[in-house]
Homo-oligomer: A and B are copies of this chain.
Amino acid sequence: SHFHIFCHDPFLILPGLFGDDTASATTRPAVATRGITLSKGRRAVMSKARNSLLFTTLGPQTSWVLWLDADIIETPPTLIQDLARHDKPVIVPNCFQKYVNAETKKTEERAYDFNSWQDSEIAQKLGAEMGRDEILLEGYKDMPTYRSLMAYMGQEGKDEHYEIMLDGVGGTALLVKADVHRDGAMFPPFAFYHLIETEGFAKMAKRLGWQPYGLPNYKVYHYNE
């Protein structure tokens, strides 16, 4: 597992070949508790890798950072302009996946990244009852959070630039104002308000006064493993 780093000021593009299923619900292990442990460890490693990239490449002149996983295989060609025109501290498109329906043999699509969400009271209460080091992950049926997932908020044919406010963000494609990172927002490899990695980053950005946004109708597509 390695990284490609392309640094183009004012845009710093950080795509990763992560070889990781952090965002994928479909490849998660069947046993939820084991899955959570694995995912926590993997996402801690991912966080450190992201931080290492970030701390070593961000410059004083950088204006924006685009986090783009190497397994994002389809986006509009104007991805950067489309996201940047919203002028938000943190903004994330909706990450889907195309697949061939076994019955109809037609190409269809399904939600892929479940890390972009709006928080729920139930998730907050679950967090309050957890140990300080425990994390609350999305997408495990044994631990429903009742968060509002951006993955399910897309509406066919509606405005691609419709914005929603988010509390957690996924990182398969993610545009961040460099000031947010320079203020100190990184990807916590430890439990931060019961969140880690990109979800912990969103919380940290909010704690620093930067509100994350999502575009439920603006889609990017993940490779189908």
Contacts and interface: CB of A to CB of B under 8 A. Distances in A.
A60 interface: yes
A55 B189 contact: no
B189 A208 contact: yes
Contacts of A186: 184, 186
A37 interface: no
Contact of A52 (B182, B189, B204): B182
Interface residues of A, number: 23
A58 interface: yes
A184 B53 CA distance: 10
Given A189-B208, A207-B190, A60 B51 contact: no
A194 to B, nearest CB: 12
A145 interface: no
A156 to B, nearest CB: 39
Interface string A205-221: 00110000000000000
Interface string A169-204: 000000000000111101111100000000000001
B56 A59 contact: yes
Nearest to A189: B184
A166 interface: no
A66 interface: no
Nearest to A207: B190
Contacts of A54: 55
25 contacts: A47-B184, A48-B182, A48-B183, A48-B184, A51-B182, A51-B184, A52-B60, A52-B183, A54-B55, A55-B55, A55-B58, A55-B181, A55-B184, A56-B58, A56-B59, A56-B62, A56-B182, A183-B189, A184-B186, A184-B187, A184-B188, A189-B208, A190-B204, A190-B207, A190-B208
Interface of A: 47-48, 51-52, 54-56, 58-60, 62, 181-184, 186-190, 204, 207-208
